[in-house]
Amino acid sequence: MSSHPKGLYLLFVTEMSERFSYYGMRALLTLYMVAALFTMTRASEVYGTFTSLVYLTPLIGGYIADRYWGNRRSILTGGICMAIGQFLMFLSACFIQPSIQVEGGAIDPSVDNTLALWLMVSGLGMLVIGNGLFKPNIATMVGDLYPQDDRRKDAAFTIFYMGVNIGALLAPLVCGLFEGSFQDPGRFRWGFLIACIVISLSMIIFWTFKNRFLVTPDGRQIGLAKPKASPIEGGREEGLLTRSDYIHMLVIVILAVFVIFFWAAYEQAGSSLTYFADKQTDKTFFGWEMPTSWFQTFPAFFCVALAPVMNWMWQKMGRFEPHSIQKLAIGLALLSLAYLVIAFGVKDVEPGIKVSILWIISLYFIQVLGELSLSPIGLSLVSRLSPKKFASLMMGIWYLSTSVSNFAAGKLATLYPEEGQTKYLLGIPITDLHDFFLIFVVMSAVASIILFCLCPLLKKMMK
């Protein structure tokens, strides 16, 4: 750890607190909507649209940083937008009126929560804009702390990723303490307020220490806006995008397509897997029942615990360390294995019967090994391959795959088996849990095999 620049730890803390704020709010969002505003179906739709949009805007945030503002100003503006967004969520929950659910799960129409609804929609909008400006730019800065092709980058992004997951782990535990209810939906406001305070603190820390720590190895400040070029210089700069730059960008786009399959399965955690944890997993220990929402913290916990192990392992492998693209393919293969384990664990389990908690824990454990092999390594690859001029935009393209995945994940989750219904995927009947989990086994195995086969070609393109 000591061999990394101090700036990495500033970005670590900034990202950790930003993710705390994001995941804290996210843990409460659906519950808040269901408690006072929408039916479960409507709330799921809004949630799906929101999580998809937050990963769409990094494309714009990356472009703005590369072209106009630089990373620092984009991160600060994004952070301020997110703080305003969280504050609007807080205000929404301050104005919310308790309502009762009438038949069919609809909300009692006599309670007027229009103001709270619009405050929430504006808050979510600010979070979407803020995340777009923040997320790609902080990752770009991690890469900028090192020389372009530095071998330490995989390890650096893995450490940074630990920050992401410490935030993701603590947030639901803290903000989750302020879950409201039908009778008291206003209680949610304290969770949103905490999220607002934490992102504000994140920005204060970032802005205070940026000049001291965010520097290149030779002491130049990073993340500043590019100086305005004269028309002649500007023209010349355009000409510097060489053929190999284009090929590198193409490699990033190809890899981003493969990554879609990973996150589409991974993001089942918030939907079908939560449902599985809730309805078909035995969570009782000595008479005490574990809350379903706690299952959401398992992946983040495993990430924090296993990230140093993975870094140590890659380092120990020395010259046998797989190439970064092979690591992505390994990530997909591990994801496939994770779902294979649970698919067989639940084979022939009748609806309504609960299975051991060990199945879902094994799934998350193996899945996180895959995540650590794919997600931080992917960021590192993008950082190494992107031409400087488009570094943040390429990060935005990388996150675009998560946006597509979140959308696809929602659609795939609707195939979760329900009694008395046969669902179909491409004409193939999905009759039970075993079939459902096999979808993800096959999807990620195929993606992994194709990526392994493409490795020699992609490696050549990277040269």
Positions that interact with ligand GLN (CB under 6 A)? 19, 164, 263, 375, 399, 402
Q: Least separation, in Å, of the C-beta of 296 and ligand GLN?
A: 12
Pick between residue 21 and residue 375 the one whose CB is nearest to ligand GLN.
375
Pick between residue 343 and residue 394 the one whose CB is nearest to ligand GLN.
394
Pick between residue 107 and residue 369 the one whose CB is nearest to ligand GLN.
369
Pick between residue 65 and residue 307 the one whose CB is nearest to ligand GLN.
307
Pick between residue 52 and residue 92 the one whose CB is nearest to ligand GLN.
52
Q: Which residues of 203-212 are buried (b: 16+ CB within 10 A; e: fewer)?
A: beebeebbee
Pick between residue 58 and residue 186 the one whose CB is nearest to ligand GLN.
58
Q: Least separation, in Å, of the C-beta of 367 and ligand GLN?
A: 12
Which residue's CB atom is positioned nearest to ligand GLN? 402
Q: Least separation, in Å, of the C-beta of 39 and ligand GLN?
A: 28
Q: Least separation, in Å, of the C-beta of 72 and ligand GLN?
A: 20
Pick between residue 93 and residue 400 the one whose CB is nearest to ligand GLN.
400
Closest of 193, 207, 215 to residue 87, by C-alpha? 193
C-alpha distances (whole Å) from 373 to each of 10, 14, 219, 368 are: 24, 23, 31, 8
Q: Least separation, in Å, of the C-beta of 178 and ligand GLN?
A: 21
Q: Least separation, in Å, of the C-beta of 217 and ligand GLN?
A: 26
Q: Least separation, in Å, of the C-beta of 19 and ligand GLN?
A: 6
